[in-house]
Structure formats: structure tokens, C-alpha cells
Structure 1
Amino acid sequence: MKYFLLLAILFTLVKKRNPLTFIHNIEFQWPLLIIISFGVQIALAFITIETKNKLEWILVLTFLGIIIGLWKNRHLAGIKWMVAGALLNLSALLLHGGLMPVSEEALILTGQTDPSFESDSRHQLMEDSMPYWILGDWIPVFRFVLSPGDFLVGIGIILLIYFHSSKIKRKGERQ
């Protein structure tokens, strides 16, 4: 997602808007639901590293929390794209036992040689028998493997930042 954030900032600057203003120009409803859901995902990552236990259904519940929080803000530009992407990712989790399948070939293309997901709280190696593999992470981009849902979320992030960033004023120009 950091590449999408970088793209959003660059696109916004090229279009003569200040991406640092979007946070002041936007008012989220239920932001704590989204923040807590992401916080639990971070905690799950540490728990899995320490215990090697994957708490798949807690991960699924955090995705539901994020989707509900985003849906409450669907009136904001870009949010519907993010909801669509999150729903695709949630579908992938539900159809694959609570973990996102990741293509080994795509991992290799991105330079990742260890396909072990023993200490990864969110992913599993994609198997040939997985019928809904297309929802998983199979698209290599630089050092990451992304899903179609990730791309939709990324488009939403770009739109959200761009449309909620103030235009840069030139000297002598009134807003």
C-alpha cells in the first residue's frame, strides 16, 4: 500500500494540490472502528510471530470492521473503491480458510525466496487446487505481491487523497 500512498502524493502534487491538507479537509465517521481493526491486525502479526498460531477468524472480523467503517464513509471520494477492494480481499479470506493465498511464482518474481508463511498472520501459500486463486495475491509489483482487491483499495486511496487535498495557491491568487 505504500506505493499507492506514494502515487497518491505524486499525482496530487502534479495536479497542483497539497496532499498534506487532505487530513484537515476530511471528516471520517466511525474512525475508531477502522483504527482499532488495523490495530488488531498489527497485534495479530506480533502474536503469530511469537506463538506461530494464526488467528484467522479474528483477521476476518478485522476486515469486517474495516469494511463497516469504510461503508459508513462511502459518501467520500474513493471510499467505494476501497470498500470494493476490501470486499474482494474478505472474499478471498473466507474462501480460503481465513488466510490470503499467495502465489509462489509471484513471490519469486518479486525476489522473495522463502515461501514459508509460518510466522505470517495473514497469508498462506497458494495451492493449485484453490479454485478462487484469482482473488488472492498473485500480481507481482516491485517487492510485493498484490491481489485485485489491493489494486481497488489503492485506487481508492489515490482518489481519497487527491479529491480531499486543497489546491495550491499561487502568489496573489485567491481561493
Structure 2
Amino acid sequence: MVYDGILLGLIVGFIRAGWKNGLIALSNIQIRYGWVFPVLLLVQFGLFFLQEKFTFFAQFNGYFYIVIYVTGISLLWLNRHQQGLGIILVGVLLNFAVMLANGGRMPVALEAAAVLDPIYTEMLKSGDAVTKHFLMNESTRLSFLGDIIPLGPPYPRSQAISIGDVVINVGVFLYLFQLLSKPKKDESAALSEQAV
């Protein structure tokens, strides 16, 4: 879901800043230990494939996701002063809370899952889905923070998302929008000279 916020932020940001200035702004991103975020993403992709082949990873995938989340939360906390990243932190904390309360897995409401591929919905019902998700039931804790929001046509990608996902996307959009909206250095200098 976070990809939607990234894509929208980049599109709006580049329209506002222009291609050249947008690329310059992106090259000047200054996030402390920012290189760890793509590593965490790669680890999640790796875990997704490993858990389908090895029972060890499938059995303990919830704990792996908790470690990934704790690492991401720590990095966001270090960078919380940057516009948008504090909002992302709140969204990640919301998702982390519901996952932590449910053994490291994200509950999905059956009503929200109705927009997904029927095969995936059946796997959720049977418990055969080897992912960080599981079908919500009466014993689910903090269910209101789970994937309860269905997104289907005309939305380009059918998915079930959480309140935390919505907050994360708002934060990602705001971060990229402000990053790509910063005036160029020469324009900033000109404005400073006019103000004197």
C-alpha cells in the first residue's frame, strides 16, 4: 500500500518541481540511516519467498516481521523531525500495534478481502495463506486497526488496507511533496537578497 503514496507523491512532486529539479531534490534526500529502509523492504520480499519453501520461516514469520517493524520504527523515530516522517511513524505504529497483538500477523476482514483475488480469499479462509496476513475472527485483537478498508475498481489496484496504511501514505505523500517543492538554491539565494 505504501507504494501508492510514493507514486502519487512523485507524480505530483515532479509536476510541481519539474523533471530536472525533482531529480536534484531526490538526490539530496537526507535521512539518517536511510539506506536501511530499502534493505528492510528486500528482507520482507526475501521472507515472503522463503516462507513458502521452508517451514521454519513460515512458522516464525510473525517474529521476523516484528523485528523488521521495530527496526523501521527506530529509524523513523530518529528522523521524526522531517516533515511527513512523523506521520509515517504514527501509521507504522498503528500497524505494529495490531500485528504485535496478533502474534506478528495482520488481520484481514472478510468483507475487505472480498475485493481481492478469490483464490487468496479462499486461502485466508482455509488458513493456507503463508503470509503475514490472516483472516480476522472473533478472537482477533485490535481488529479495527487491521485490514478493514476495501479498495476496488475504479481504484487501479484491488487491495485491503488498514487505517495505519492510510496514515503512512499521507505521510509519504507529504514527505515527497515537500521535498520536491523546495526552491532551488539559486532561487533561495535570490529571495534572500531581495529580502535584505
Q: TM-score, normalised by structure 2?
A: 0.77
Q: What amino acid is the match of 1:24?
A: S
Q: Equivalent of 1:97, from 75, 79, 103?
A: 103
User: Which residue among 2, 7, 26 is the counterpart of 2:29?
Assistant: 26
Q: Which one of the candidate residues 122, 139, 146 is aligned to 1:136?
A: 146
Residue 48 in structure 1 maps to residue 51 in structure 2: yes
Following TM superposition, by how much is the alpha carbon of 1:17 offset from its aligned partner in structure 2, in angstroms?
Answer: 2.1
Deviation at 1:39, TM superposition (A): 2.4
- Map of 1:62 onto structure 2: 68
1:17 matched residue in structure 2: 17
5 Å-filtered alignment, 1:120-135, equals 120-135=130-145
CA apart distance, 1:23: 2.0
Conservation of the 8 A alpha-carbon contact between 1:17 and 1:166? yes
Pair 1:145 & 2:146 matched: no
Q: Which residue of 1 aligns with 2:155?
A: none
Deviation of 1:4 (Å): 1.7
| Aligned alpha-carbon RMSD (Å) | 2.1
Q: Which runs of 5+ in 2 are unaligned?
A: 153-157, 188-196
Q: Cα 1:64–1:167, aligned 2, differ >3 Å: closer, same or farther?
A: closer
Q: TM-score, normalised by structure 1?
A: 0.85
CA distance in 1, matches of 2:62, 2:33: 24
- Whether 1:112 and 2:117 are equivalent positions in the alignment is yes
Could you say what secondary structure the match of 1:151 adopts? helix
1:158 shift after superposition: 0.2
Amino acid at match of 2:70: L
Partner residue in 2 for 1:2: 3
SS of residue paired to 2:91: helix
Question: How many Å separate the matches in 1 of 2:99 and 2:26?
Answer: 30
Paired residue type of 1:112 = D
> 2: CA distance between counterparts of 1:85 and 1:50?
31
Question: 2: CA distance between counterparts of 1:82 and 1:58?
Answer: 21
Rounded to whole Å, the distance in 2 between the matches of 1:47 and 1:157 is 29
Higher helix residue share: 2
Unaligned runs of 5+ in 1: none
AA in 1 matched with 2:112: A
Q: Distance in 1 between matches of 2:111 and 2:52?
A: 24
